[in-house]
Amino acid sequence: MFLCSSFRVLLVSLSALLFLDTSLGRNLHRDFHIAWGDGRGKILDHGKLLTLTLDKISGSGFQSKDEYLFGSIDMQIKLVAGDSAGTVTAFYLSSQGPTHDEIDFEFLGNISGDPYIVHTNVFTEQQFYLWFDPTKDFHTYSFIWNPRHVIFAVDGTPIRDFKNLESKGVGFPKNQPMRLYSSLWNADDWATRGGLVKTNWTQAPFTASFRNFKANACGWTSPSDTSRCSSGSSSALSSGNHQVWMTQELDSRQYRRLRWVQRKYMVYDYCADLQRFPEGLPPECTLQ
């Protein structure tokens, strides 16, 4: 009887390990590796800080060692300060292959004193000004990704909620695992005022900093994990509060905050871009 009970406990423990919990602020060496940049990306301070640098020769980037299929992911980021026009700091989830999915934050640099633009993308784009200076201190940027929603949040305030409307013919990222990536690169052909403002290389090198990565997520190791990571899986909910993100959605207070951000700080919404969609807006624009 003792052996059977111990074995059941072991199985439950192993099942729980499949759900990655980095909420205690694990060493960044354990979660990421520098993917490119010839030494311009660095993990510092015994794994507590990661920096990406851009100069005229190259930018840099990192990626997660784990893949995820749904989760709640936070990263604190301090963006490039000063005259950062032409630079883009990207923080995003992406799968591999020709039909890959992406869930993106892209931070578009600016002439010193102008506000940063945050570009969000899940198949289609919305852009926002931030209501603070993101270069003075670290701020938390979050993805909540589950079978029903992709929610973007800044310091806990939701700025976008992309809902699963597959039943209405709208695509939704739910079948492909994704890694977490970040990069700092030169995009002065389009990033600042549509490419009108070029990168001022006298201000280089440009640096963005990252810390306090947290991920409560379903770790992916094989195609059989699809059922384990689905909303109906009993193991997906077996670790209690760690898996609340699997069914999370905005409550009434969060929805009011979302509308406040969209009303005051949204600068581009594909659902209002009649020039881009002259034959009619995408169906989710009337369904969200």
Residues near 252 by Cβ (< 8 Å), separated by ≥ 6? none
Q: Which of the residues are catalytic?
A: 102, 106
Decide if 22 contacts 213 (C-beta within 8 A).
Answer: yes
Decide if 210 contacts 114 (C-beta within 8 A).
Answer: no
The 3-class SS string of 104-131 reads EEEEECCCCCCCCEEEEEECEEEEEECC
Decide if 212 contacts 74 (C-beta within 8 A).
Answer: yes
Residue 1 CA, distance from chain mean position: 47
Strand, helix or coil for residue 263 = helix
List the beta bridge partners of residue 151. Answer: 144, 161
